[in-house]
Amino acid sequence: MTQNEIQPIEPIGKRLLHEKVSDALLSYIYRNGLKPGDKLPGERQLALELTVGRNSVRQGLCQLEEDGIVERMVGKGAFLRKEVSADSIQLKLLRVNYKDLLEIKINLEQLAIRRAIDIATDEQIRELKGFATKLCDLAAKGQFSIDLDREFHTALLGCGGSPTLSQLVLSLVDSLNSYSKTWGDVSNVWVRTIPYHMDIAVALEQRQLSFALAASEYIFQHDLQVLNELTDIHRYQERKK
């Protein structure tokens, strides 16, 4: 590849962290067809082209080194250790997108919970508890139903009394379910969150906002933990290749 054929590195905003630097470097490596053994631009040049500080560049390179993609050699620079595929870029973007969707979902759903504390009817809460009971019955058998879980969240959002909010969150739920299918069958890990679905329903019944929010927050933190664990497993498998 000649100098004229090399595509430039796309700048990124200063507000973005070193994960975005590693993303930009992955894209640069892939778009320019770099092969194992090829040298990456120096930290000073990367900092200028990415419009970030050298420390962010260094952290981004460290991340790629941890992932087994580059190797840094003191006094010589960073060299590509493993060829970057479109699949590896997609997986990294998937992880970022999934985390962003989770954060948006929890914020909107907790808004619905705050509304539900004041306006949910007894009938709505009984329906919510009914779905939670069915989820718990399945969990006792080690089973998890995505469809039933969606019905629970639909009922929960209904308790909040805002069709617009419900539509937004359910769209996020469907996107998250679609993303999670790329991991294979991980329903066994979602089973652990089922008791907290019931806790949300009971807390709404007792009009205890703090308990309902705490249960919702636990589900969110568990989902993040699962995401990180699956990412670590993928990195381990990639390093063994």
Same domain, 126 and 73: no
Task: Among 71-75, 124-128, 199-203, name the one with the lowest average pLDDT.
Answer: 71-75
The CATH number for 197's domain is 1.20.120.530
Is residue 14 scored above 50 in pLDDT?
no
pLDDT tens sequence across 122-167: 999 999 999 999 999 999 998 988 889 889 999 999 999 988 888 8
Same domain, 27 and 98: no
Counting the structural domains of the chain, the total is: 2
Q: Cβ distance 71 to 78 under 8 Å?
A: yes
What is the DSSP-derived secondary structure letter of residue 18?
Answer: H
The residue out of 25, 56, 84 marking a domain boundary is 84
Same domain, 147 and 191: yes
Q: What percent of the chain has pLDDT over 90?
A: 31
Note the pLDDT of residue 124: 96
Same domain, 152 and 232: yes
The CATH number for 20's domain is 1.10.10.10
Q: Which helix (H) or strand (E) holds 235?
A: helix 209-240
The residue out of 84, 111, 146 marking a domain boundary is 84
- Identify which of 73, 76, 94, 74 has the alpha carbon closest to the alpha carbon of residue 26: 94
Same domain, 120 and 213: yes
Secondary structure of 115-149 as H, E, C letters: HHHHHCCHHHHHHHHHHHHHHHHHHHCCCCCHHHH
Q: Cβ distance 179 to 223 under 8 Å?
A: no
- Identify which of 240, 181, 192 has the alpha carbon closest to the alpha carbon of residue 215: 192
What is the DSSP-derived secondary structure letter of residue 6?
Answer: P
Same domain, 118 and 221: yes
For residues 56 and 88, which has the higher predicted lDDT (pLDDT)?
56
- Top mean pLDDT of 71-80, 128-137, 176-185, 221-230 is at 128-137
The residue out of 51, 84, 117 marking a domain boundary is 84
What DSSP letter does each residue of 164-231 carry, written as one string?
HHHHHHHHHHHHHHHHHGGG---HHHHGGGHHHHHHHHHHHHTT-HHHHHHHHHHHHHHHHHHHHHHH
Same domain, 47 and 149: no
Is residue 20 scored above 50 in pLDDT?
yes
Note the pLDDT of residue 239: 52
Same domain, 158 and 206: yes
b or e along 146-173 (b: 16 or more beta carbons within 10 Å of the residue's beta carbon)?
eebbebbbbbbbbbbbbeebbebbeebb
Same domain, 12 and 109: no
Same domain, 76 and 127: no
Same domain, 64 and 97: no
Q: Mean pLDDT score of the chain, rounded to an integer?
A: 80
What DSSP letter does each residue of 52-95 carry, written as one string?
S-HHHHHHHHHHHHHTTSEEEETTTEEEE-SPPPHHHHHHHHHH
Same domain, 105 and 187: yes
Note the pLDDT of residue 241: 52
Range of the domain at 229: 93-240
